[in-house]
Chain A
């Protein structure tokens, strides 16, 4: 058992990898559609052990809020950057405080660290 654990884990042991998301402070602006508001985040994946990230949106009490995006769960290959637009209904846009991206890990891949970065809407 010791060998199995060590073999699986050592594959991922000594490599620096990063989850990067900008901007730290978001602006929500009217979109091209009436009563729909939008914001945009930029992601850079420097985690070679992660291929997918998931977007979540929360209010100030960390309750989930509905949103629309073409890439709610999106693939972002290693060392690639991507900009993602997120849309809200007018009544939701006023409540949005945090927009987060979280790494999605493969089950049993030996990965030890899950990362989440949250940007904030400052009012």
Chain B
């Protein structure tokens, strides 16, 4: 009788552990990848001063080109628009004209399908618009140069301009 009771007990305990083991095996891990576009500022820009009258992000001029990364989780769902600076967002008082020039180019890509992004981009004013047709990562580098009127030296102080990076769902 006692042996039978112990046998039932062990059977029940075994069944409980077995069911737990089964439950653990079935524990689900779920995740959702949303269709999204994320804008990363990989490198903020720095102006160098190759001339007293010029600010430039070119490495040869002592500057650093800003690099912006777009991560797109869904192909052909977003447009990337990058606008290089056309004015100072902050600067010392300036009495003469400033001439802004610049460019936006693809720096690196995660997929060969992105190789034509520069060829296919639309450019208007200072804005370069890219059709992000492939899912993955694209890095863009922006160049900016500012020349002060009549080759005058820039007044001493901190100069800041803005690159506008946009990602718009299509």
Complex alpha-carbon distance, A16 and B48, angstroms? 21
Instruction: Check if B161 is an interface residue, CB within 8 A of chain A.
Output: yes
Count of chain A residues near B, Cβ 8 A: 41
Near B by CB (< 8 A), chain A positions 61-117 give 98, 100, 105, 107-117
Interface extent on B, as a size class?
35 or more
A108: chain B residues at CB < 8 Å are 89-90, 158, 160
Residues of B within 8 A of A2 (CB): 48-49, 62
Chain A CB within 8 A of B68 CB: yes
* B39, A105: Cβ atoms closer than 8 Å: no
Q: A1-B156, A112-B44, A112-B45 are in contact. Are A120 and B64 (CB under 8 A)?
A: no
Inter-chain contact total with CB atoms closer than 8 Å = 133
Q: Are A24 and B41 in contact (CB under 8 A)?
A: no
Partner of B37, one of A15, A16, A24: A24
| Given A24-B36, A117-B37, 20 new contacts (CB under 8 A) | A5-B49, A6-B48, A9-B64, A13-B45, A17-B40, A19-B38, A22-B36, A23-B36, A24-B74, A24-B77, A25-B35, A49-B41, A98-B169, A107-B160, A109-B160, A110-B160, A111-B162, A112-B44, A113-B66, A118-B168
